[in-house]
Amino acid sequence: MSAGSDGSGARIDMDLYSRQIGTFGMETMGKLIQMKVLISGLRGLGAEVAKNLILAGPAAVALHDDGLVEMSDLGSNFYLAEADVGKKTRAQASLEQLAQLNPHVQVSVCSGTVTSEVLAGFSVAVFSGASQSELIRCNELCRARSPPVGFIAADSWGLACSAFVDFGDSFTVRDKDGEEPRSAIVAGVTQENPGAVHTHHERRHGFQDGDWVTFREVQGMTQLNDSAPRQIKVTGPYSFTIEDTTGYSAYVREGLVSQVKVPQSMKFNSYKQAMVQPTPEGGSELAVPDLAKFGRSEQLHLAVQAVQQFREQNGHLPPVRDASAAATCVKLAQEINEARKKQEGALSVEEVEIDVVTKVALFARCMICPMAAFLGGVVAQEVVKFTGKYTPLHQCLYFDMFELAPAELPSDWQPSGSRYDDQVAILGKAFQERIGSLQIFLVGAGALGCEYLKCLAMTGACCGPTGKVTVTDMDRIEPSNLNRQFLFRQSDVGQPKSVTAARAAQAMNGSLKVEAMEVRVGNDTEDTFDDAFWGGLDAVVNALDNIQARLYVDSRCVWFAKPLLESGTLGTKANVQVVLPHLTQSYGDSQDPPEESIPLCTLKHFPHAIEHTIEWSRDFFEQLFVESPREVNSFLADPTTYLAKIPSEGTGTSQLAKMSSIRRMLDQRTGPFDMCVKFGVLEFQDKFHDSIAQLLHTFPLDHKTSEGALFWSGPKRPPAPIKFDPADTAHLDFVVAAANLYAANLGIPPCRDRAEIAKAASAVEIVTFTPKEVKFKVDDKDTTTEGCVDDDEKARRVIKEMADLGKQLASSKPLDPAEFEKDDDTNFHVAFIAAAANLRARNYKIPEADFHKVKMTAGKIIPAVATTTAMVTGLVGCELLKVVTLASRKVEDFKNAFVNLALPLWVMSEPLPPLKTTSKDYDPIIMGPVRAKPEGFTSWAKIEVNRGDITLKDFVDYLTNEVGVEVMIMSAGNACLYNAYLPAHKKRLAQKVTELWEQVTKQKLSPKKTYLTIEVSASDADDGVDVQIPTIKFQFK
């Protein structure tokens, strides 16, 4: 186990929490591991909060629920068993498995009444399932403590849910959104009131109104440098204003401006105050999670209070589907609203919506897994916010999925003593049986996949006699997975994810039918996931972390017209996309723009951000310890062929470097470790001193461009060489890592003794740098050939010498190239990249990065937390229940979502309709008109040709006669079957299409294959206008 410190001395398990730290940061993690949390109420919602929070890693979690387990609890609390019913309290029954989630968290049971003494020592207390009077009492106890205990009340009311947060009268938020602070290069500052700052046009500054910034390295207007943060007003993508600068010195050049996270204070009202006015003074209006339901939150606020008042009057919540009790709740809501209208500053509505109150009342006792998962993720994240990271909910959230409720009362809703009773009460027994018979394909068994399997087990999906979920994932369990992939334990590390997750989900509900596979989903596995497989599915759920796989699964769902539920997370952000056949866009219809790439010249010579130096160092690692030993192995395998190719690869300078590296590694294979230390020192000298000195020799600090402007300005930061000093920790970090990685390549035993390495490094003789005549590209448009002018001849000479060496070493043992592994902090991989990145940052006076930031960036690690995962899978679970009755539903019933729990923000919206292909009078690519046949077809459309195994001519004639197009080009995937413009292709017309496919692709058709997917470029048979038609399904058997 690798451990890090948060700065306070507390130790953090870096292996376990690495992805979470990528989201929260080390400071927040350090505060979180010292928190103690009370969770009162352990039905499904409480279990979700506890699970998510324990995974996050506070010091302790106490479970409080003295109610005995009931059979219906098993439909949402995944850690209860039938053997617990009527015998154990929910807290006792949940304890063992919750405690197993994280060995670093002390999990205990707390019983009896919650008193001030019980609350002592807790940071936050979370209550669910409590009465209104109990919530008021506990909230007052929390507020009375010194310091105040954070208070959260949350409840799920069947198809609605509510949450309330109170962090006291004065709570400090250190970082409102968790985003990386932005920075920009200053291009100019005016002397006026207010002063206008203009930034370099290389990229938008990305600041927002109200942000706080600091300046450094400004020349001329030095009053801006290193002063207190100042607030800005954005005036454009490359400009903003600051204070009055009329009295400042005139701006001359340069400067960097960086965003600063300034702590903000928030005031919270008590629960009792929020009953009257849920939006505190200075707070925003109630959140509107669903854009189609403006005003719904206010209605739900009154509905929940009415239901709670019913409870106060009767000692229990309204019975399930009790029309009389619901009518009483409606009356109570109306009375509360009328009273509030007369109360100054109170929230009221023009008219209470009877339907909203009725639905809350009818299902107030019901707890279904998707709603519990959604709110459990939200609430657990609110607990984390007590650390001061992110903006807490201020103060109420109301949310509903009333679209799930059947339009008419099911006749079979009555309880039967089943674990599904709560869900049956809402949806009916016949609906439940349909859920049980679902055939679902779950692609991925990581964090999302684990949550989806739990959701299926809890809702009874795929649990009937004919139901089944097929889950596939090629990955094995790693230690870092345990922080959010909650079906796995330490003992499972190294085991297949899909098999382990399936076994754990079946332990939650023995009726769940699962087939676990370790097969990649793609073109190469279509014999496994064949037409019969896809055709037999009811729905597909993606739980993937890469775009290529998502696009492939999406294309299969479009082809077979299957519903697809797509979701993804990035730290505290998440999205849901519902893909419905012929009704909505597919995932492939809309994609995110590609990530911005860093220009090559910026990486090689002109970095100005730490991300640039990290990427450079990642490439440096690859070049030294992966590519170089591979080149040696290629040379040893066949010296003659290898050397014959070298003159045609790159410049003389790059050829010489490659040959020199091969020769050096071969010469040093049997050397002592001191020789590896020498390698590290000389690499340091080359990269952080000599190369920089050479760049400054070519472009001195006063060098000017052809336009007369200073070369070193704007994004081109002038570097400074670094002289090697073994006493400097950063210098030694680099040499220690480089020497050990080089030794591993050569098969030399490692050395971790820093003192010994420092001693050896001190003895290395460094040759004084002598500048050469070298050419550099100044930007990516520069056509200059980089390198030293006299290296071509040297390269030719060395190639001849290497030929003789190759003959002598023909039978030598190959070297051992490194394989980059980001999650092993002892292998020197990330250590080398971190040392190199920070040394290069020193060259260019760029602020350095900590080890974890380098690890996240170089390893391309996606930040991930359990809270976001649980929340988004709850939303998808609701959509899956809607898919069961897709045939009778409108597209408006379904919800796409974007969520950012850091802000917090929820945006639910109706899925967009599919993109249509339409005729155009002028297409810029074809440079003429294009006609769509049929007009307005979408990606869901296809032309089916079921004529058997016919010839290409018969196929082409069929398209002419039946579709009205003349085929110009016909292709299947990447294979061009026919091109009418090529005379040689005329003879192909006599061949069968299947025979032609096998000939062109050089593959045999699978016996399972019954059709080919054909794309055609064609023109209208009548007037020759270019035509676009849907994909063709050529059914040959």
Interior angle at CA 809, CA 808 and CA 812, nearest 5? 150
CA dihedral 745, 749, 755, 757 (to 10 degrees): -40
Q: Are 238 and 198 in contact (CB under 8 A)?
A: yes
- Over its C-alpha atoms, the chain yields an Rg (Å, rounded) of 33
Assign residue 91 a region: left if phi > 0, alpha if psi is -120 to 50, beta otherwise?
Answer: alpha
- Residue 194 CB coordination number (10 Å): 16
Q: Are 384 and 56 in contact (CB under 8 A)?
A: yes
246 token code pair: 């009329």
What is the C-alpha separation between 663 and 644, in angstroms, rounded? 16
Percent helix, strand and coil across the chain, each to the nearest 5: 40, 20, 40
411 token code pair: 């006749």
- Residue among 966, 973, 985 nearest 1034 (CA): 973
Helix (H) or strand (E) holding 745: helix 729-746
- Residue 560 CB coordination number (10 Å): 15
DSSP class of residue 235? E
Q: How many CA atoms lie within 13 A of 1028 on its CB side?
A: 17
DSSP 468-506: EEEEE---B--GGGGGT-TT--GGGTTSBHHHHHHHHHH
3 token code pair: 């451990």
DSSP class of residue 184? E
Interior angle at CA 395, CA 393 and CA 397, nearest 5? 75
Catalytic hit among 142, 396, 463, 601: 601
Write out the E strands in 290-344: none
List all residues 6 or more positions away from 422 whose beta carbon is below 8 Å from its beta carbon: 72, 75, 76, 158, 365, 366, 367, 368
What is the C-alpha separation between 739 and 745, in angstroms, rounded? 10
Q: Which residues pair with 414 in a beta bridge?
A: none
- Residue 173 CB coordination number (10 Å): 20
302 token code pair: 């009154």
275 token code pair: 């009953």
- Residue among 682, 680, 685 nearest 737 (CA): 680
Assign residue 160 a region: left if phi > 0, alpha if psi is -120 to 50, beta otherwise?
Answer: beta
Q: Are 306 and 398 in contact (CB under 8 A)?
A: no
Active site residue 601: yes
Q: Are 931 and 1029 in contact (CB under 8 A)?
A: no
Q: Are 10 and 33 in contact (CB under 8 A)?
A: yes
Q: Are 577 and 911 in contact (CB under 8 A)?
A: yes
What is the C-alpha separation between 977 and 996, in angstroms, rounded? 7
What is the C-alpha separation between 296 and 288, in angstroms, rounded? 8
Q: Amino acid identity of 745?
A: N
Burial zone of 262 (CB within 10 Å; 0-12 exposed, 13-18 middle, 19+ buried): middle
Q: Are 268 and 167 in contact (CB under 8 A)?
A: yes
Q: How many CA atoms lie within 13 A of 986 on its CB side?
A: 4
- Residue among 591, 594, 588, 518 nearest 552 (CA): 588
Alpha helices, DSSP H only, in 120-192?
A: 132-144
- Annotated catalytic residues are 601
